[in-house]
Amino acid sequence: MSTALITGASSGIGAIYARRLAARGHDLVLVARATDRLNALASELCDAHGISVEVITADLTDSIQLDSVLKRLRSAPVIDILVNNAGAALVGDFASAEPDKMQTLLRLNVIAPTLLASAVIDNMLARGNGSIINIASVLALLPEYSHGIYAATKAYVLTLSQSLAAEVSAKGVYVQAVLPAATRTEIYERAGGDISKVPDVMEVEALVDAALVGFDRRELVTIPPVPEVAAWEAFEQARSVLASGFSNSEPAERYRSSV
Ligand SMILES: NC(=O)c1ccc[n+]([C@@H]2O[C@H](COP(=O)([O-])OP(=O)(O)OC[C@H]3O[C@@H](n4cnc5c(N)ncnc54)[C@H](OP(=O)(O)O)[C@@H]3O)[C@@H](O)[C@H]2O)c1
């Protein structure tokens, strides 16, 4: 029986990952700050699916509490699937953002998933098996749409997923970046926003079920709302055309004069 560790499992996307992975028979380690919600979900999933569930209460922006999750990822029973899901948004402009709040967001959305993946990767590489699911956002590809640093944190998650996949996929470790668009969860209200003003909101169960189809197909990047995969493939093709110009010891002709 394999074990999945899910961060941010107390609500929204993480809670649905917990339900779906429990239904698939995985044992679970649930991580978030809200112990009561984690315990309630754990007991429901144990009863419904006969799996074993550990709960770790941790604020992932606190280095000591993060350390308890890093230790769990390095120990037994081994973690077969890491779902790097915990995250938050920060409403408002970059110019008016408080540095403390930006630092907390960077700890949660960037540093925590990076160190969690780092803690689990050695075990996965040694076994030649394991999966890391990183929840990014379509805003990683649409930074102009969102002010402040949230989109940049999610671009980091996408880029990390792509470079990590290039490093480990041939060694048996699967990495998936999931890019949700607007999804009905608590994230908007937590950030002081209002989801009723957001158009085309996907239900969270539909988002996770689609992401798991991408997982089963071993997609590197899964963007549930995009109707045609050809659009993503064309984007990747354009990126590779651009990249073909990177290997050049001379600046391009257009930069050789100042006019
Ligand atoms: N909903 C969307 O429209 C949308 C779109 C694109 C991407 N995403 C991404 O999806 C992921 C999940 O968000 P969601 O939409 O499901 O929002 P959510 O319902 O607010 O869930 C966020 C989860 O993260 C946990 N969390 C927040 N701060 C934490 C901290 N300091 N330490 C540990 N856990 C913390 C929360 O639990 P506790 O409060 O109990 O700690 C909760 O379980 C995020 O990475 C988000 O950026 C969401």
Name the closest-CA residue to atom 20, ligand 1: 187
Which of 7, 30, 85 for a ligand 1 pocket mutation test, highest count of atoms within 8 Å of Cβ?
85
Task: Look up residue 249 and give its amino acid.
Answer: S
Separation in Å, CA 23 to CA 38, 45, 46, 50: 17, 8, 10, 10
| Cα–ligand 1 centroid distance for 2 (angstroms) | 24
Q: Is 102 exposed, middle or buried (0-12, 13-18, 19+ CB in 10 A)?
A: middle
Cβ–ligand 1 contact at 223 (below 6 Å): no
pTM: 0.98
Cβ–ligand 1 contact at 183 (below 6 Å): yes
Cβ–ligand 1 contact at 33 (below 6 Å): yes
* Contact call for residues 42 and 30 (beta carbons, < 8 A): yes
| Cα–ligand 1 centroid distance for 11 (angstroms) | 7
3 state SS of 49: helix
Task: Look up residue 161 and give its amino acid.
Answer: S
Q: Is 108 exposed, middle or buried (0-12, 13-18, 19+ CB in 10 A)?
A: buried
pLDDT digits (tens, 9 = 90+) for 149-181: 999 999 999 999 999 999 999 999 999 999 999
- What domain range includes position 232? 3-255
| Cα–ligand 1 centroid distance for 45 (angstroms) | 20
CATH of the domain at 90: 3.40.50.720
Q: Cα–Cα–Cα angle for 45, 51, 54, nearest 5°?
A: 80
Which of 135, 154, 158 for a ligand 1 pocket mutation test, highest count of atoms within 8 Å of Cβ?
135
Please tell me the distance from the alpha carbon of residue 107 to that of residue 117, in angstroms, as a whole number: 14
- Burial letters 50-86, b for 16+ CB under 10 A, else e: ebebebbbbbbbeeeebeebbebbeeeebbbbbbbbb
Annotated active-site residue 150? The verdict is yes
Q: Report how many domains make up the chain.
A: 1
Q: Which residue has the tokens 């809670």?
A: 15
Q: Which residue has the tokens 């144990």?
A: 46
Residue 154 alpha carbon, nearest atom of ligand 1 = 47
Spatial CA neighbour of 28 closest among 36, 195, 15: 15
Please tell me the distance from the alpha carbon of residue 21 to that of residue 236, in angstroms, as a whole number: 30
Cβ–ligand 1 contact at 59 (below 6 Å): yes
* Contact call for residues 110 and 153 (beta carbons, < 8 A): yes
Residue 109 alpha carbon, nearest atom of ligand 1 = 45
Q: pLDDT tens string for the chain (259 positions)? A: 799 999 999 999 999 999 999 999 999 999 999 999 999 999 999 999 999 999 999 999 999 999 999 999 999 999 999 999 999 999 999 999 999 999 999 999 999 999 999 999 999 999 999 999 999 999 999 999 999 999 999 999 999 999 999 999 999 999 999 999 999 999 999 999 999 999 999 999 999 999 999 999 999 999 999 999 999 999 999 999 999 999 999 999 999 998 7
